[in-house]
Chain A
Amino acid sequence: GAVVSQHPSRVICKSGTSVKIECRSLDFQATTMFWYRQFPKKSLMLMATSNEGSKATYEQGVEKDKFLINHASLTLSTLTVTSAHPEDSSFYICSAGDRDSYEQYFGPGTRLTVT
Chain B
Amino acid sequence: RKEVEQDPGPFNVPEGATVAFNCTYSNSASQSFFWYRQDCRKEPKLLMSVYSSGNEDGRFTAQLNRASQYISLLIRDSKLSDSATYLCVVSLRPTTSGTYKYIFGTGTRLKVLA
Contacts and interface: CB of A to CB of B under 8 A. Distances in A.
Interface of A, secondary structure class, is: strand
Interface residues of A, number: 25
Contacts of A111: 41
Interface residues of B, number: 19
Interface stretch (B51-59, B61-69, B71-79, B104-112): B104-112
Interface in A79-104: 91, 93, 95, 97, 99-102, 104
Given A43-B106, A43-B107, A51 B46 contact: no
Best-surrounded residue of A44, A100, A106, A108 (most CB of chain B within 10 A):
A44
Contacts of B28: none
Contact of A106 (B43, B99, B101, B107): B43
A91 B41 contact: yes
A60 to B, nearest CB: 12
